[in-house]
Amino acid sequence: MYIPPAFRLADRNAAVAIMRDNAFAVLVAHREDMVEISHLPLMVEERGEGLVIRGHVARANPIVALIEAGAPATAVFTGPHAYISPDWYASEDQVPTWNYVAVHASGRLVAVAGPEDTTGTLADLSAEHEVLLAPKTPWTHEKMRDGLMGRMIKGVLAFELPVERLEGKAKLSQNKKPEDIAGAVEGLRGRGGAGDLATADLMAR
């Protein structure tokens, strides 16, 4: 990822927070002349000093061949983003741009083949999102008919991506004057979309 020094997100904790807050990511795997891209909900787990990304795909997905081959892959997590109009700046002779936050996590894929481990991956993923629906009682696979979950996971492959390289980028007008940043923040808040407001909050920090 191209990251000018002003936009480098060096704070590991901030990068992990972006990954967790934007869990529906893009997984890009490649080997020789084969490239597969999948859009997936992913989990980020801290193991000792390292990070491991966990997820699952349908066994009919062509990316399975790359997972089973231990291919190199990158998980792309995209955070808040928004168009910035030059009319919002205090300074003249500016151009339009797009502010955004993104994290790339790269490593080699590892297949998780055991049915119990696969069930654990699915349970952890649902639990991570069900807890956000409180006070609703969390859904668990125990609510399913006996044997149904076991039959369904035969069509799923769980995987892990131990992170070997973590890159974060926060392009938030850090290279602009304070009055220009303030103007852009005001413009975004006036526009009022979810992405605009989230980007404005990050810029204001």
- CATH number of the domain within which 89 lies: 2.30.110.10
Residue type, 53: I
Q: pLDDT tens digits, the chain, 205 residues: what are they?
A: 999 999 999 999 999 999 999 999 999 999 988 999 999 999 999 999 999 999 999 999 999 999 999 999 999 999 999 999 999 999 999 999 999 999 999 999 999 978 788 888 888 989 999 999 999 999 888 877 877 877 888 889 999 999 999 999 999 999 999 999 999 999 999 999 999 999 999 999 8
User: What pLDDT is recorded for position 118?
Assistant: 85
pLDDT the model gives residue 139: 85
The answer to whether residue 24 is domain-embedded is yes
**3-state helix/strand/coil string of 181-200:** HHHHHHHHHHHCCHHHHHHH
pLDDT of residue 135: 94
Contacts 24+ apart (CB under 8 A), 33-41: 34/65, 34/66, 36/61, 36/62, 36/63, 36/65, 36/66, 37/63, 38/63, 41/125, 41/129
Residue 203 lies in a domain: no
Three-state secondary-structure class, residue 4: coil
Question: b vs e for 6-27, b when ≥16 Cβ sit within 10 Å of the residue's Cβ?
Answer: ebebeeeeebbebbeebbebeb
Question: How many domains, the chain?
Answer: 1
Residue at 123 is within a domain: yes
Is residue 32, in this structure, part of any structural domain at all? yes
Q: Is 63 a member of any domain?
A: yes
Q: What is the pTM of this model?
A: 0.91
The total of other beta-carbon atoms located within 10 Å of residue 126's CB is 15
Residue ranges making up the domain that contains 86: 5-195
* 204 inside domain: no
Residue 205 lies in a domain: no
Residue at 152 is within a domain: yes
Residue 144 pLDDT: 78
pLDDT at res. 145: 81
